[in-house]
Chains A and B, each alone.
Chain A
Amino acid sequence: QAGLTQPPSMSKDLRQTATLTCTGNSHNVGNQGALWLQQHQGHPPKLLSYRNDSRPSGISERFSASRSGNTASLTITGLQPEDEADYYCSVWDSSLSGWVFGGGTKLTVL
């Protein structure tokens, strides 16, 4: 089943800003709210953002999400060492009737 497209890797300097992208189509990102997950090695994923721009309680304001057309974005400001992780986007696909995930972006903080 068709998934979402994310760049496989990104490297940014400490305290800089990273913008991760997630491209889908009109049946998923363009139609539904995307969510973003962070996963550290050996741990389950953690929800960072849902319905495009809502943050669960306890998630830092340094994480913000948005959408433009068929592309969702996650912006992380003031990068910290603990932000080094894999980031996944996901959205309910109305044509597939199921959750689809991006392949993940591995963020390295230099």
Chain B
Amino acid sequence: EVQVVESGGNLVQPGGSLRLSCAVSGFTLSNYWMNWVRQAPGKGLECVATINEAGSDKFYVDSVKGRFSISRDSAKNSLYLQMNSLRVEDTAVYYCGRDLFDYWGQGTLVTVSS
């Protein structure tokens, strides 16, 4: 059974940093592209970062370029999102989604506020 579990969300001040984790089981992480998708309160979905199977290609939405970094550790079957220089507008539920979004976790809430 495929499982995806995000963690690491928290309340952080503007300018602060957080590292989100996504632990997967039931499939081999190194065989799939992976994505981080966020949803601000009452708003739609936005894919903020994508990484290919090998971890060699990474893609970011313009609003997070230079601040967020996606990475993966196949040995630990985990995906990560390092978020620096956080802004109020980064407040959202962050989801980890596999490949063509066929599996999602329950999400982890990031709140950026002073």
Is B105 interfacial (CB 8 A cutoff)? Answer: yes
A interface secondary structure, majority = strand
Q: How many A-B contacts if CB must be within 8 Å?
A: 51
Q: Which of A50, A100, A103 contacts B102 (CB 8 A)?
A: A50
Is A68 interfacial (CB 8 A cutoff)? Answer: no
Are B44's CB and A104's CB within 8 A? yes
Are A47's CB and B102's CB within 8 A? yes
Q: Which of A44, A51, A102 contacts B105 (CB 8 A)?
A: A44
Number of chain B residues close to chain A: CB under 8 A? 20
Cβ contacts under 8 Å, A35 to chain B: 100-101
B interface residues (Cβ-Cβ under 8 A, vs A): 35, 37, 44-47, 50, 59-62, 95, 97, 100-102, 104-107
